[in-house]
Structure 1
Amino acid sequence: MRRKKQRLPGFLATVFVPFWVYMAINPFARDVWWAENIPIMAVFLLLVLTYRSFRFSSLAYAFMAFWLFWHTIGGHYTFANVPFDAFTDFFGFERNHFDRIGHFSVGFYAFPIAELLLRKRWCGPVLACFFALFSIMSIAAGYEIIEWIYAVSDGGEAGVEFLGAQGDIWDAQKDMLADTLGAVFSLAVFYVLGRHRVHRSSLLD
């Protein structure tokens, strides 16, 4: 059973690579695609290169994979232009919230951060959760600054699409809140389900 569950990272990677290649074909805006996909490629390669030296739990990989797939779709269409009308209409939203879900999923990375800290025994579960939360909040703020710099330096349509504000002057603040709420959610899952077993390297496996 354990051996089968260890196959999940390989399965996710096997599905993700052709999906990413497909989404790299004829994107809405190639310059925006590059800006959105650099973080995707960096995270994916980091996970591949460190897989032999440190393997996260199955749930951690599932959390991380959600963001990789979701962000890849956003990079292809640009987040404001993803065909998400069914969701928007169902809830009666005035704007496309595909990007909000994407930011919420950024917070999922708090789970593997906390898991790493606890498995390495660098701190206890409470401190690990707080460090993971603050890490995501810092990344969220840093990314909003990068978006702003890119939009200002580009000064054109690509900058507007990368920013993805859709006319909302509070978009950056709401994005950071979504990142934070995603982190709180994933850490709640981590704290309830995994913290007692993580030292045995068997968290949810």
Structure 2
Amino acid sequence: MLGQDPARPAAGQTCSLTVRQLPGPEGSLGQLTGLHPASDRRSSISNQSAVSNRRYATILLVVFALIFAALAIDPVDRFVWALENALVALGMIIFIASHRSFRFSKLSYTLIFLFFCLHEIGSHYTYSLVPYDAWFKAVFGSSFNEIFGWERNHYDRLIHFLFGVLLAYPMREIFHRIAEARGFWGYFLPVCLTMTMSLIYELIEWGAAEVFGGDLGMAYLGTQGDIWDSHKDSLLATIGAVLSMAVALIINLWLQRDFGREWATSLKVKHPEPLGEEAIRKMLDEDKSSKDKPANR
């Protein structure tokens, strides 16, 4: 009949529902309705997030490259600058090589970017000669060192402290997403890794000073006459990491609903069987039984 809605049956007719099978996994909602499942929407959001993160990381990389190039011009000591940037070059290679398999959050990328930028300032001037006190005096008219009664340049101490503050969270992200460190271990292990990396860096400094010796070795070491310099640097890095993890813990305690259960579960014994000689004996027995099976057939 002209003007009748084709989707509606005429008066007196029965209504039947025909289910049209659409392409998709067997038994899926898409077969019945043609709607995308929630997993597809989550996948789409995840892909958009990945693209956004990579774009953000690329922008930070370009900005850092410009800062690096600017501070590479006429540094105070070219050889010290080269030594200071050897680990930076290694870090950049690792980041670029792994960016497809592992992408950090924008927060972690920002923290890493800030640390590298501050490190480049120290590399340009050498850490013991960064004129932060002169900059402070030019802006505020008084000496920053005199306010605190300092007699040495503390820029190196600041960077060691910020190493813990800024890089502990990216370390937490690595432990959380690769090693599945949950609860207590998600906060404890980044502090341990910070201490370990600080120790390794101090050993590298000592090794470089021994190899190169003279003014170059002492400039790279940057102790400024303090025999406990390496100990204080490591302590400051540890304090920074503890503070960073304390902030992360407080935020998660506030926002994460199952925080208490996750924390308690992380401290439970997952594998009651001891290791050591018992584990070795068990592996030997399993190896022996696997070799005996073909002979018994």
TM-score bracket for this pair, using the shorter chain length: 0.7 to 0.9
For structure 1, list consecutive stretches of 5 or more residues without a partner in the other structure.
Answer: 198-205
Amino acid at match of 2:230: A
- Map of 1:59 onto structure 2: 107
Amino acid at match of 2:91: V
Q: TM-score, normalised by structure 1?
A: 0.86
Which of the numbers 134, 140, 160 marks the counterpart of 1:103?
A: 160
- Map of 2:33 onto structure 1: none
- Summarize the alignment of residues 17-36 of structure 1 with structure 2, pairs less than 5 Å apart: 17-36=65-84
Which of the numbers 199, 224, 235 marks the counterpart of 1:166?
A: 224
Distance 1:50 1:105 in 2: 24
- Summarize the alignment of residues 30-45 of structure 1 with structure 2, pairs less than 5 Å apart: 30-45=78-93
Amino acid at match of 2:120: T
- Map of 2:242 onto structure 1: 184
Q: TM-score, normalised by structure 2?
A: 0.61
CA gap 1:51/1:143 in 2 versus in 1, 3 angstroms: same
Asked whether the equivalents of residues 73 and 82 of structure 1 are also in contact (C-alpha less than 8 Å), the reply is yes
- Map of 2:145 onto structure 1: 88
Distance 2:106 2:124 in 1: 27
Asked whether the equivalents of residues 40 and 72 of structure 1 are also in contact (C-alpha less than 8 Å), the reply is no
Asked whether the equivalents of residues 133 and 180 of structure 1 are also in contact (C-alpha less than 8 Å), the reply is yes
Distance 1:175 1:191 in 2: 24
Distance 2:132 2:224 in 1: 14
Residues 1:144 and 2:192 aligned together: no
Please give the root-mean-square deviation of Cα atoms over the aligned residues, in Å: 2.3
Asked whether the equivalents of residues 114 and 125 of structure 1 are also in contact (C-alpha less than 8 Å), the reply is no
- Map of 1:73 onto structure 2: 121
Identity %: 38
Distance 2:56 2:208 in 1: 36
Asked whether the equivalents of residues 125 and 191 of structure 1 are also in contact (C-alpha less than 8 Å), the reply is no
- Map of 1:134 onto structure 2: 192
Structure 1 or 2: larger helix share?
Answer: 1
Asked whether the equivalents of residues 23 and 76 of structure 1 are also in contact (C-alpha less than 8 Å), the reply is yes
For structure 2, list consecutive stretches of 5 or more residues without a partner in the other structure.
Answer: 1-47, 137-143, 258-297
Aligned residues: 197
Which range moved further: 183-192 or 157-166? 183-192
Q: Deviation digits for residues 89-115 of structure 1, max 9, x if unmatched?
A: 443321111111111122122211111
